[in-house]
Structure 1
Amino acid sequence: MYKILIGLFLSVLCLQAKCQMQFDEGSFSEVLAKAKQEKRMVFMDCYTSWCGPCKMMVQDVFSQEDVGQFMNTRFVNVKLDMEKGEGRELAKKYQVKVYPTFLILNEDGEVIHKMVGGMKAEEFLQNVQNGIGEHSLYSYEKRYADGERDPQFVYSYIETLARAFMKERMEEVLHEYWGTLTDQEKSCKENWMLVKRFVKNPALPEYKYLLEHKKDFDAAVSKDSVDRKIYDDLFPLIVNDCNEIIFHDKVNAAQLLETYEVCVTRSGIAGQDYLLDIVEFTKVFLSGDLKKALKMYDKKFSRLDSDARFDVTLQLNGMLIRKGDAKMCKRGLELIEKTMKDCGWSVDDPLFAAVVSGLKDKFKDDKDE
């Protein structure tokens, strides 16, 4: 009886193992040869030993029965660490830069589809099915090369490239497609989603066109939609670059701020005053006039809501820590503590506790000197 139970237990283990994804242990060339012999495609899991999402995929997705059944019958599956052995060369060959990356290859090792990032089992299976059908990168590339330029198709193609982290190819297709359009087509409703999602860099000619012809886009979709898109693009760029200027002496700072000022002014969007004030605030810091910065923080930014005051508060703290004297740091601390009270920010919060203690230490140290 004991032997029977052990046998049943082992049988169950074997059955469970077969239900999981099976990964070939051979070299990459052997995997391709096996795929050719068995007339199957290759699924390659490109991972690294330190990648958390890679481990999650193995534990939570590749182990599932429905995933194993689907993948094992259609692919020769292989896992390769991109930082070891032949994985290093394959990472270069297939331009794998983000982990995990999943490649679907034909028997000659050519890319049919590419997926990036951890995902749930249902999403994974759907993406794989897309990758072996009409929504694969291979299919989109062929249709594009054959001259298809329907707006919805181009949007889907660029979206697939974006999901695969193929930024250079994505921008190349965007530029090519944009060059085929008339002014009326560029601002039409059919192309708005393409502009909204993938035209985000103010340095791109497509973005400059958006600003120059904003009224046309307003008429096609709505001013509120266009204003929100431009604000959502510019706000994080401006805040991040202003932080880099304040905290790390970002190169070409004056030129960058001037570019943002022109860009925001040209847009005429709702909320532009706040963006222009952040730019002006940083310009004041560059000029070394911290007295003016303190006045601007006290008079202009005190009228804003707590979310808007959060960024400029951290910026003022950085300005004072880097270039403020004892008197300025003391005045700055008074203003920041007033803002904390107005906005309900607790001094027990580690971030604000560090701000307060840092400024106190700064003007104490300056006094001691």
Structure 2
Amino acid sequence: MILRLFFLSIAMMASTSGFASDTTLIFRQLSYSKLFDTAKEENKIVMLYFHFDGCGACFQMEKTAFSDPEVARFYNSNFINFEVNTLKEKGIEVNKVYSIKMHPTYLFLDQSGNELHRIVGVFSPEEFLEQARHIITNGKVLSDYKKQYAAGNRDSDFLFAYCYMLRDAFELDSSIVMDYLNTVEPHDLSEEKNLKFIYEFCVHNSQTFIPFDSPYFSFLKQNKEKFYVYLEKDQVTARIARIINEACYIAIEHKDEPAFKKAIQALEEYDTGEPYLFKETDGRITGIMGIHLVLQTSLAFYDRIGDTVHYNKTLESYISKIWDDENSLNFYAWGVVNSQANAGETNKIKTAIKCSIRSIELNNNYANNDTYAWLLYKSGDQQKALTQAEKTIEIAKKNNENYTETQKLVDLIKTGK
């Protein structure tokens, strides 16, 4: 209650602030050592903006949200805004206190420097303003939610809001997502807010939060049509395929044949021969899942358990599928360069070299020539590998490409280290 009254008192002062007419967000030109004294004098919360020169996401925020008149008026009236360039001398020193690694990050601190709230990333003007209004008018801050959660609050509405707060702070983990879903009655999973929740958080920041063997994944898979009402059909499918594919690799890691067979059987339905582009809810494409998923995962499984016979048989099928695809050929060949494989090592290297040569025939470029050089080195033919590496560097120089990795191979061969 005291915290809420404190926020409300600030909100009432906003209308009389001298910054109310500003049309862009203003960062105070004062030293960090004076920051919290100024906050006490003006009875305001501190907003620290962590950025660096050349940060594309930071630049986007500066050109959109920070330049929005309504955002500017509210932030300038209610906060002491202070920027921290984490790659410049003064900013480096300030960031030693906070250890911020993701940019842009916005920390909201009380007048003693205690963290109240945190958000990370790019927000629209409306979203950025909503965050501030929640802090000022509702006292809705992440630090308070963390305390409530630690004290045992598992109310459904609280957990729902907490998940989105943690998402915006880039701190969400799967346990909180499952905590919320476990409060939802099965018949309520079909509500719009829960369909969108499952869709957004089944895979979050490239991690699977709703696993293959959970009832919520079963609900997603069995009720796809309900999701299509609100969400893109291909993206619902992409999430299902992603979760199944990951289940295959978890089984591979643990050499769990029954689990692998269950997952690979489910994956067959989604192995359509077309790649899956993975889009976030804001439309950004953040991942791609290739084609021939069943063959790829089967190769990985037989490799992991050391089954040479089945590995070689599957490899033959896979290579025939990708023989006219330069990128898939190079992708497979490069995977062999990096593999610590068990099954069919000699045959694998020979096949990878064959794939690499074919990829070069289809499109002679730096990437597949580099792969070929490393494969020759891995096969034991150091002289031929050196010749190929030097040829690869010439290709890179001609096209103004970075050849650091190939130079490493040349140095490795010449020094024997």
Contact 1:20 1:68 in 2 (8 A): yes
Q: 1:58 to 1:331 in 2, by over 3 A?
A: closer
Q: Which of 260, 281, 284 is the matching residue for 2:299?
A: 281
Structure 2 SS opposite 1:79: strand
The residue that corresponds to 1:198 in the other structure is 201
Q: Distance in 1 between matches of 2:259 and 2:53?
A: 40
Q: Distance in 1 between matches of 2:199 and 2:37?
A: 44
**1:85 Cα deviation (Å)?**
4.2
Higher relative contact order (CA 8 A, sep 6+): 1
The residue that corresponds to 2:314 in the other structure is 296
Q: Which of 352, 363, 368 is the matching residue for 1:352?
A: 368
Q: 1:214 to 1:305 in 2, by over 3 A?
A: farther
The residue that corresponds to 1:164 in the other structure is 169
Q: Distance in 2 between matches of 1:20 and 1:139?
A: 22
**1:354 Cα deviation (Å)?**
1.4
Structure 2 SS opposite 1:197: helix
The residue that corresponds to 1:114 in the other structure is 118
Contact 1:46 1:79 in 2 (8 A): yes
Q: 1:346 to 1:295 in 2, by over 3 A?
A: farther
Q: Distance in 2 between matches of 1:76 and 1:366?
A: 62
Contact 1:238 1:275 in 2 (8 A): no
Deviations along 1:53-110, one digit per CA (max 9) or x if unpaired, are 587479867996957666444321223466854543344xxxx442331123344545
Identity of aligned residues (%): 15
Q: 1:205 to 1:347 in 2, by over 3 A?
A: closer
Q: Distance in 2 between matches of 1:128 and 1:302?
A: 52
Q: Please say if 1:139 is aligned against 2:140.
A: yes
Q: Which of 25, 28, 32 is the matching residue for 1:23?
A: 28
Q: Distance in 1 between matches of 2:212 and 2:355?
A: 42
The residue that corresponds to 2:13 in the other structure is none
Q: Distance in 2 between matches of 1:220 and 1:132?
A: 34
- With structure 2 as the length reference, what TM-score do the two structures score? 0.58
**Code of the aligned partner of 2:130:** N
Q: Distance in 1 between matches of 2:255 and 2:348?
A: 27
Q: Please say if 1:229 is aligned against 2:233.
A: no
The residue that corresponds to 1:245 in the other structure is none
Q: Distance in 1 between matches of 2:347 and 2:32?
A: 68
Contact 2:119 2:168 in 1 (8 A): yes
Contact 2:45 2:111 in 1 (8 A): yes
Contact 1:261 1:279 in 2 (8 A): no
**1:326 Cα deviation (Å)?**
7.0
Structure 2 SS opposite 1:347: coil
Q: Which of 201, 206, 215 is the matching residue for 1:209?
A: 215
**1:188 Cα deviation (Å)?**
4.9
**Code of the aligned partner of 2:194:** N
Q: 1:124 to 1:73 in 2, by over 3 A?
A: farther
Contact 2:332 2:352 in 1 (8 A): no
**Code of the aligned partner of 2:224:** D
**1:346 Cα deviation (Å)?**
0.9
The residue that corresponds to 1:14 in the other structure is none
- With structure 1 as the length reference, what TM-score do the two structures score? 0.64
Q: 1:263 to 1:187 in 2, by over 3 A?
A: farther
Q: 1:65 to 1:165 in 2, by over 3 A?
A: closer
Flag the structure with higher helix content.
Answer: 1
Q: Distance in 2 between matches of 1:329 and 1:288?
A: 16
**Code of the aligned partner of 1:253:** E
The residue that corresponds to 1:33 in the other structure is 37
Contact 2:329 2:358 in 1 (8 A): no
Structure 2 SS opposite 1:180: coil
**1:212 Cα deviation (Å)?**
3.9
Contact 1:187 1:216 in 2 (8 A): no
Q: 1:163 to 1:221 in 2, by over 3 A?
A: same
Q: Distance in 2 between matches of 1:155 and 1:313?
A: 44
Structure 2: segments with no counterpart, 5+ residues: 1-22, 274-291, 385-417
The residue that corresponds to 1:6 in the other structure is none
The residue that corresponds to 1:42 in the other structure is 46
Q: Distance in 2 between matches of 1:226 and 1:54?
A: 27
**1:195 Cα deviation (Å)?**
0.9
Q: Please say if 1:255 is aligned against 2:258.
A: no
**1:165 Cα deviation (Å)?**
0.5
Structure 2 SS opposite 1:283: helix
**1:194 Cα deviation (Å)?**
0.9
Report how many aligned residue pairs link the two structures: 323
Deviations along 1:271-294, one digit per CA (max 9) or x if unpaired, are 289433222101233355667545
Supply the RMSD in Å over aligned alpha carbons: 4.9
The residue that corresponds to 1:247 in the other structure is none
- The correspondence of residues 55-66 of structure 1 with structure 2, limited to 5 A, is 56=59
